[in-house]
């Protein structure tokens, strides 16, 4: 099985004695079900799986009373398999197809006999269907396509290599030319293959880009079918138009999504739900402009100005490159890779836990990304060409004292280097950019002795 970081999420969840139900969300075909099955095989004696998408009768288990006794009796009768209290994992797959099962989670968790994992691909777009949410009884984790580190591990890169790269990243010390060339080539392969597990596995097994691209195009068609099946009838044509327009809109110089590009009479208010549908389904990653590069970034958002990236860079390539992937990997094309490179960085930053924004103003220019770590805002510039030391807009924003920007990253083809507040990093080291994490404990006590 492909190694996934979400495995550690499952382990931490199971080790918590008072764990709730775990709900894994994310786009279709990113490996949620496969991960849970393998986890159950290694950590439980018994495993029960209900797939509400492929088994039309599975929902009947939850058609009657939703108390735990009734549901578990229905479950054991339906599955005809032993379920041992304390050593059974129940997977409720594609749970958005059975809203009553989502409501029943509260009673099943309270009952405590079994552990429950829910997976859902379109939970964000089916919110109105759930009769009552199990608030306080679910622990949520969002999964994404495989990131670059997971892709490297699938291709045989060892822990020792990552340890060495992290040391060089932390010390801001260049890696050897041989390592730099190899990692750059792997990143180039990731650009084309992307992180959809089936595509990665096909590449690992065959190293045949043609097979990878054919599989990616099938996945793109699957997403289009989901739009036709799950979106409201009044929104389907808008959502499909937006989805199909993502590659061409990213090819624009400033990457900003322009509604007039799909409908010259379109208004933002009429399309807002369509954009959110794609984001909630995990198919697209919106990146909003901000009024100023200051914390908190979300409070500075201009919601009418945004870039819209594809959820997976390999799918973007499949939708964009017209069979040029292999030629690109061979270095035979002089292709403008700016949009695809920026998409990879957006995907990596999001996977690491950032909420990327961007800044664009007539006075200062455009900075590709802004990320927030704690209370600090860090500009990130992406350079796909050979002129990575030229970044006028980045220089401009760093000079504005009241913004307090004391560091920035330029992600590029070059090796690690520093120039004042700017650190130049190879594109493949985007995987080491991570937000500041909250401590596990933050005790705080107010001394009340002065009060009468």
- pLDDT value at position 131? 60
77 and 184 within one domain: no
Instruction: Compute and round to an integer the Cα radius of gyration of the chain.
Output: 24
216 part of a folded domain: yes
Sheet holding 417-419, edge to edge: 301-310, 284-290, 357-361, 365-373, 376-382, 408-412, 422-426, 417-419
Strands 422-426 and 417-419: antiparallel
212 and 107 within one domain: no
Rounded-to-integer distance, Cα 375 and Cα 130, Å = 36
Domain that holds residue 84: 6-142
Backbone angles phi, psi at 435, to 5 degrees: -70, 155
Indicate the number of domains in the chain.
2
451 part of a folded domain: no
Residue 269 tokens read as 């208010």
297 part of a folded domain: yes
pLDDT along the chain (452 residues), means of 10: 95 93 94 97 96 92 93 92 92 91 94 94 60 79 97 98 98 98 95 96 96 96 89 87 90 76 68 84 93 94 91 92 75 66 95 96 96 96 92 96 96 96 98 88 88 91
Sheet holding 138-142, edge to edge: 46-51, 88-93, 115-120, 21-25, 138-142
173 and 74 within one domain: no
446 part of a folded domain: no
User: What is the residue-wise DSSP string for 212-270?
Assistant: HHHHHHHHHHHHHHHHHHHS-TTTHHHHHHHHHHHHHHHTSTT-B--GGGT-TT--HHH
- pLDDT value at position 333? 47
214 and 175 within one domain: yes
Alpha helices in 87-208 (DSSP H): 99-111, 148-154, 159-171, 177-193, 197-206
Eight-state DSSP code of residue 331:
T
Element (H, E) at 284: strand 284-290
219 and 85 within one domain: no
68 and 129 within one domain: yes
Q: Which of 110, 142, 174 is the last residue of a domain?
A: 142
Eight-state DSSP code of residue 416:
-
- pLDDT value at position 331? 61
440 part of a folded domain: no
326 and 424 within one domain: yes
The domain that holds 73 is classified in CATH as: 3.40.50.300
371 part of a folded domain: yes
- pLDDT value at position 264? 67
Eight-state DSSP code of residue 427:
G
449 part of a folded domain: no
- pLDDT value at position 371? 98
Hey, is 439 helix, strand or coil? coil
422 part of a folded domain: yes
137 and 153 within one domain: no
387 and 319 within one domain: yes
Q: Which of 142, 166, 191 is the last residue of a domain?
A: 142
315 and 409 within one domain: yes
104 and 200 within one domain: no
Rounded-to-integer distance, Cα 342 and Cα 150, Å = 19
Other CB atoms within a 10 A radius of the CB of residue 53 amount to: 15
206 and 133 within one domain: no
CA-wise closest residue to 141 among 38, 52, 49, 21? 21
């Amino acid at each position: 099985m492909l190694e996934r970081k979400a495995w550690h999420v499952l382990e931490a969840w199971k080790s918590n004695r008072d764990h709730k139900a775990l709900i894994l969300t994310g786009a279709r075909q990113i490996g949620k079900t496969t991960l849970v099955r393998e986890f159950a095989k290694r950590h439980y004696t018994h495993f029960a799986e209900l797939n509400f998408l492929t088994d039309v009768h599975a929902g009947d288990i939850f058609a009657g009373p939703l108390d735990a006794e009734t549901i578990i009796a229905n479950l054991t009768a339906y599955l005809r398999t032993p379920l041992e209290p304390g050593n059974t994992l129940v997977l409720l797959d594609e749970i958005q197809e059975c809203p009553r099962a989502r409501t029943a989670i509260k009673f099943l968790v309270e009952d405590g006999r079994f552990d429950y994992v829910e997976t859902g691909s379109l939970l964000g777009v089916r919110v109105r269907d759930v009769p009552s949410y199990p608030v306080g009884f679910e622990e949520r984790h969002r999964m994404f396509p495989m990131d670059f580190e997971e892709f490297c591990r699938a291709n045989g890169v060892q822990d020792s290599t990552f340890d060495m790269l992290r040391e060089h990243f932390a010390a801001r010390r260049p890696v050897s030319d041989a390592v730099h060339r190899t990692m750059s080539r792997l990143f180039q392969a990731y650009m084309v293959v992307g992180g959809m597990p089936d595509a990665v596995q096909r590449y690992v097994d065959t190293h045949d880009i043609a097979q990878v691209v054919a599989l990616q195009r099938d996945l793109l068609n699957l997403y289009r079918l989901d739009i036709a099946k799950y979106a409201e009838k009044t929104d389907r044509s808008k959502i499909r138009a937006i989805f199909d327009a993502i590659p061409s809109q990213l090819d624009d110089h400033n990457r900003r999504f322009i509604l007039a590009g799909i409908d010259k009479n379109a208004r933002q208010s009429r399309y807002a739900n369509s954009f959110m549908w794609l984001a909630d389904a995990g198919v697209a990653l919106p990146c909003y402009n901000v009024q100023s590069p200051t914390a908190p970034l979300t409070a500075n958002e201009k919601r009418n100005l945004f870039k819209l990236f594809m959820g997976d860079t390999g799918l973007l390539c499949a939708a964009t490159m017209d069979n040029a992937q292999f030629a690109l990997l061979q270095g035979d094309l002089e292709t403008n890779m700016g949009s695809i490179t920026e998409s990879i960085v957006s995907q990596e930053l999001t996977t690491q836990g950032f909420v990327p924004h961007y800044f664009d103003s007539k006075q200062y220019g455009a900075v590709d990304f802004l990320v927030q770590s704690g209370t600090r805002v860090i500009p990130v510039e992406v350079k796909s060409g050979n002129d990575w030391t030229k970044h006028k807009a980045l220089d401009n924003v760093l000079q504005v004292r009241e913004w307090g920007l004391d560091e920035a990253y330029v992600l590029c083809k070059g090796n690690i280097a520093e120039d004042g507040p700017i650190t130049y990093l190879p594109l493949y080291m985007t995987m080491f950019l991570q937000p500041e994490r909250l401590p596990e404990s933050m005790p705080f006590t107010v001394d009340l002795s002065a009060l009468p």
